[in-house]
């Protein structure tokens, strides 16, 4: 009863977004001031001599005070710039308007970045609720530059007049402000603008409620297992994680939750179909009409999609999905639907073959019944082991983190002439965190292009965790020649920490994630743009955002690279040729089924924002087209799909798949080089560096691709990489 009571109370509490409650020793809550009285004029979180964060002195109070102070200074700066825009014909749109905005913004961007790092890396220093307040305050302030009618009108006037002396980057910045202004309703008449803003408020309110309900419903799911037979074959590392008493991890009991890293591993290893079904069912029924009606979100799904549709109509778009295309490389719904349908033509027949083969494989091993969704992950792992001798726990013995890092650094130097050097005696938020400078040797061996923190290890509840493989690349400060800043970023993972003097050992999935995140980091640091508005990943079209990440992840499968990054924990030997061959072949295992899952979610997301019908009807239609087995009649996974209703991926879920298509095509250029021709490889790498890693958002992604590949992207390379061609 206590849990239900708390669930009902959480939605009736309204918190002040600008003042964060903090408990005092006396037991009462006190409100922290938005602006600290003793803050120095310069950024209080940075060392003046290095311009790096003083993490050993950063506190929640300092972050809140700094964000509050800098937000107000930014807003006041915008007001002064708006006055300059009163006579747009007498100003230079860049030197008098857009560049000063950037100078006002950079301190706030840095403080927000520092707060974000603490939230992901050390939640004892930055609890979730505090960070959410900081994020909202900073976001509301920064967004005002795109919501200012005087600035928007000045940009329009100068754009219409044009200037032959503008650089390509300046034209993109101006286009960005114009597009953001249009999407924020600044072209609307006052009455329409009022109703447009009401739509936005309802969407934000419903999204917040959706997030809270999903988070609470997820925490409520706890499946206790006392039967040791149901936990046979699990990795020891996992058993220790879920055991009530980690010292008794072999005998239990164990608590299974919907934490992604726990859910995924449980579905792959649990031999008991009923237990898998129970957990799967709990996951897809969260916030549905089949549970506590106080946590139900179906009405929020309808409300958010309806409001998004209405908002798009005000702006002159047919649907919210059409509106979404204005920020995408694909450019139109027709292009995306054709992309998804073409992939489905290859993926669906392969899925039929794969499920039939998987079912036959399972029946040979005693499986009795129809292959269901909750059975597939378990039997996929079993079949993969049988076909390719693929076992995560065995492969993990070959990938010590120091060796993988050494091989990765060598690869980056050979490909891009980039050297990564560790710097000592830098303030960090935990003793495990390391700091590196990145040198582009084509430019300088003494002045770094940028720097990054590397926080590799899990630390229990102290550190935010999503799953055991993936990590985050978190920007602290973007490059800005206008403000004199070089980029500062971070890479955060949750790898198992070293133990008994032995290094952290990575699964191969973790190796791929590490390579991928370094790809993102390089794009942030090697950018050659002048403005933070277009530096690194800023202003890159959403569906091209993941290209650099996926390109570098491809290299983890190269035999020469695998030899360089592997070293057995005990023998010191690298992976043998047979294991490498099996590893490469295992890459396309169940590729038809896996691709159909991504295509289903992508199509479902778009249809939700195009077809104004109940989500149940849309889901049934999409499911039949993408899966060989029938959907569960109670499946309500859309009711907990926070990615499209909370994380701004609505009508954009397909973006990761589009980025994978671009990356496969980019990587195929390297594969086309003659075997062993390192000079040719370096020429291709230089072209990639001068386009994808350098141009950031200063050039439209379709043009960046053309400059690298000499043509528009093709699906052929992606299909080939999945063995679906």
**253 prior amide bond cis, ω within 30:** yes
| Overall residue count recorded for the chain in this entry | 725
Residue 154: CB atoms within 10 Å? 25
161 Cβ contact list (under 8 Å, min separation 6): none
% pLDDT > 90, the chain: 85
Sign of CA dihedral 321, 325, 329, 332: positive
Q: Provide mean pLDDT across the span 104-133.
A: 93
Tell me the helices (H) and strands (E) count for the chain, helix number first.
27, 9
Q: What is the pLDDT of residue 252?
A: 92
Q: What is the pLDDT of residue 500?
A: 87
Q: What is the pLDDT of residue 466?
A: 64
pLDDT of 621 above 80: yes
% pLDDT > 70, the chain: 94
The mean pLDDT value of the chain amounts to: 92
Q: Provide mean pLDDT across the span 394-407.
A: 96
Residue 202: CB atoms within 10 Å? 17
Q: What is the pLDDT of residue 468?
A: 60
Q: What is the pLDDT of residue 467?
A: 64
3-state secondary structure of 702: helix
What is the DSSP secondary-structure string of 97-134?
Answer: IIHHHHHHHHHHHHHHHHHHHHHHH-TTTS-HHHHHHH
- Indicate the pLDDT class of residue 553, thresholds 50, 70 and 90: very high
Tens of pLDDT, residues 175-223: 999 999 999 999 999 999 999 999 999 999 999 999 999 999 999 999 9
Inter-CA distances, 597 with 378, 510, 627, 638, 646, Å: 16, 22, 8, 14, 21
Tens of pLDDT, residues 246-299: 999 999 999 999 998 899 999 999 999 999 999 999 999 999 999 899 999 999
3-state secondary structure of 418: strand
3-state secondary structure of 434: strand
- Rounded distance, CA 702 to CA 78, Å? 33
207 Cβ contact list (under 8 Å, min separation 6): 304, 645, 646
Q: Provide mean pLDDT across the span 62-78.
A: 95
Inter-CA distances, 151 with 72, 85, 89, 109, 187, Å: 18, 6, 13, 20, 13
Inter-CA distances, 236 with 56, 239, 451, 459, 507, Å: 35, 5, 36, 17, 14
What is the DSSP secondary-structure string of 466-513?
Answer: S-SS--EEEEEE--BTTTTB--EEEEEEEEPPPBTTBPPB--HHHHHH
Can you give 137-157 as a three-state secondary structure string? HHHHHHHHHHCCHHHHHHHHH
pLDDT of 27 above 80: no
pLDDT of 163 above 60: yes
- Rounded distance, CA 487 to CA 452, Å? 8
pLDDT of 355 above 70: yes
- Indicate the pLDDT class of residue 452, thresholds 50, 70 and 90: very high
Q: Provide mean pLDDT across the span 36-45.
A: 60
- Indicate the pLDDT class of residue 26, thresholds 50, 70 and 90: very low
Q: What is the pLDDT of residue 41?
A: 55
- Rounded distance, CA 163 to CA 153, Å? 17
pLDDT of 32 above 60: no
Q: What is the pLDDT of residue 162?
A: 82
pLDDT of 608 above 90: yes
Question: Using an 8 Å Cβ cutoff, are 645 and 205 in contact?
Answer: no
Tens of pLDDT, residues 652-705: 999 999 999 999 999 999 999 887 788 899 999 999 999 999 999 999 999 999
Q: Provide mean pLDDT across the span 315-336.
A: 97
- Indicate the pLDDT class of residue 512, thresholds 50, 70 and 90: very high
User: Around 679, how many Cα atoms within 13 Å sit in the side-chain half-sphere?
Assistant: 0
- Rounded distance, CA 573 to CA 690, Å? 37
- Rounded distance, CA 177 to CA 187, Å? 13
> What global pTM score does this model have?
0.92
Of the listed ranges 22-31, 327-336, 390-399, 521-530, the least confidently predicted one is 22-31
Q: Provide mean pLDDT across the span 549-578.
A: 96
Q: What is the pLDDT of residue 11?
A: 32
Inter-CA distances, 93 with 106, 156, 163, 716, Å: 19, 10, 11, 44
pLDDT of 242 above 60: yes
Tens of pLDDT, residues 459-497: 888 888 766 667 899 999 999 999 999 999 999 999 999
Q: What is the pLDDT of residue 39?
A: 54
What is the DSSP secondary-structure string of 257-324?
Answer: E--HHHHHHHHHH---HHHHHHHHHHHHTTTSTTS-GGG--HHHHHHHHHHHHHHHHHTT-SSHHHHH
Chain centre to alpha carbon of residue 558: 25
Where does 573-700 have alpha helices with state H? 577-586, 591-608, 615-626, 642-645, 655-671, 678-691
């Amino acid at each position: 009863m206590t849990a239900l009571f708390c669930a009902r109370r959480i939605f009736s509490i309204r918190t002040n977004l600008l003042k964060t409650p903090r408990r005092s020793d006396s037991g009462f809550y006190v409100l922290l001031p938005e602006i600290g009285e003793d803050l120095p004029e310069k950024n209080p979180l940075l060392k003046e001599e290095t311009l790096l964060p003083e993490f050993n002195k950063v506190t929640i109070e300092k972050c809140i005070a700094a964000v509050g102070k800098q937000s107000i200074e930014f807003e006041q700066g915008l007001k002064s710039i708006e006055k300059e825009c009163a006579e747009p014909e007498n100003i230079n749109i860049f030197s008098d308007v857009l560049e000063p905005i950037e100078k006002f913004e950079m301190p706030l961007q840095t403080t927000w970045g520092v707060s974000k790092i603490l939230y992901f890396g050390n939640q004892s220093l930055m609890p979730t609720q505090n960070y959410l307040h900081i994020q909202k305050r900073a976001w509301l302030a920064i967004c005002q530059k795109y919501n200012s009618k005087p600035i928007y009108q000045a940009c329009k006037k100068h754009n219409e007049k044009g200037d032959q002396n503008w650089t390509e980057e300046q034209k993109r910045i101006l286009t960005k402000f114009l597009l953001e202004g249009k999407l924020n309703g600044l072209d609307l008449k006052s009455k329409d603008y009022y109703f447009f803003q009401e739509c936005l408020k309802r969407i934000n309110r419903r999204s917040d409620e959706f997030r809270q309900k999903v988070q609470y419903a997820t925490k409520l799911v706890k499946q206790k297992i006392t039967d040791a037979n149901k936990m046979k074959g699990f990795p020891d590392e996992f058993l220790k994680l879920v055991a009530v008493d980690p010292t008794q991890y072999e005998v239990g009991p164990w608590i299974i939750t919907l934490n992604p890293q726990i859910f995924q591993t449980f579905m792959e290893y649990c031999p008991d179909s009923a237990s898998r079904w129970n957990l799967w069912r709990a996951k897809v029924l969260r916030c549905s009409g089949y549970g506590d009606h106080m946590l139900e979100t179906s009405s929020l799904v309808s409300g958010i999609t309806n409001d998004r549709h209405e908002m798009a109509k005000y702006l002159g778009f047919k649907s919210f999905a059409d509106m979404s295309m204005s920020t995408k490389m694909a450019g139109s719904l027709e292009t995306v639907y054709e992309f998804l349908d073409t992939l489905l033509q290859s993926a669906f027949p392969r899925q039929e073959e794969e499920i039939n083969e998987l079912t036959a494989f399972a029946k040979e091993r005693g499986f009795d019944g129809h292959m269901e969704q909750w059975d597939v992950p378990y039997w996929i792992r079993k079949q993969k082991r049988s076909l390719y001798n693929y076992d995560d726990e065995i492969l993990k013995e070959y990938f010590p983190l120091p060796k993988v890092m050494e091989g990765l650094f060598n690869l980056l130097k050979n490909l891009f002439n980039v050297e990564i050097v560790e710097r000592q005696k830098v303030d960090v938020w935990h003793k495990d965190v390391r700091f590196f400078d990145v040198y582009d040797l084509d430019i300088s061996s003494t002045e770094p292009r940028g720097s990054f923190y590397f926080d590799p290890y899990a630390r229990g509840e102290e550190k935010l965790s999503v799953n055991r493989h993936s990590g985050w690349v978190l920007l602290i400060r973007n490059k800005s020649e206008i403000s004199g800043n070089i980029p500062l970023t971070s890479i955060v993972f949750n790898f198992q920490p070293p133990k008994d003097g032995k290094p952290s050992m990575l699964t191969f999935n973790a190796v791929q994630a590490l390579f991928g995140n370094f790809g993102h980091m390089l794009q942030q640091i090697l950018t050659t743009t002048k403005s933070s508005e277009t530096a690194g990943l800023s202003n890159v079209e959403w569906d091209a955002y993941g290209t650099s990440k996926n390109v570098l992840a491809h290299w983890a499968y190269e035999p020469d690279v695998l030899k360089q990054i592997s070293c057995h924990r005990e023998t010191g030997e690298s992976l043998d040729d047979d294991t490498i061959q099996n590893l490469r072949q295992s890459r396309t295992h169940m590729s038809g089924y896996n691709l159909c899952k991504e295509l289903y979610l992508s199509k479902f997301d778009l249809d939700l924002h195009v077809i104004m019908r109940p989500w149940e009807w849309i889901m049934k239609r999409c499911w039949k087209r993408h899966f060989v087995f029938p959907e569960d009649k109670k499946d309500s996974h859309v009711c907990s799909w926070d990615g499209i209703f909370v994380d701004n991926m609505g009508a954009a879920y397909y973006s990761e798949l589009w980025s994978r298509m671009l990356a496969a095509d980019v990587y195929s250029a390297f594969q086309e080089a003659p075997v062993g021709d390192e000079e040719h490889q370096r020429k291709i790498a230089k072209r990639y560096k001068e386009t994808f890693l350098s141009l950031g958002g200063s050039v439209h992604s379709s043009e960046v691709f053309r400059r690298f590949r000499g043509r528009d992207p093709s699906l052929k390379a992606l299909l080939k990489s999945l063995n679906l061609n």
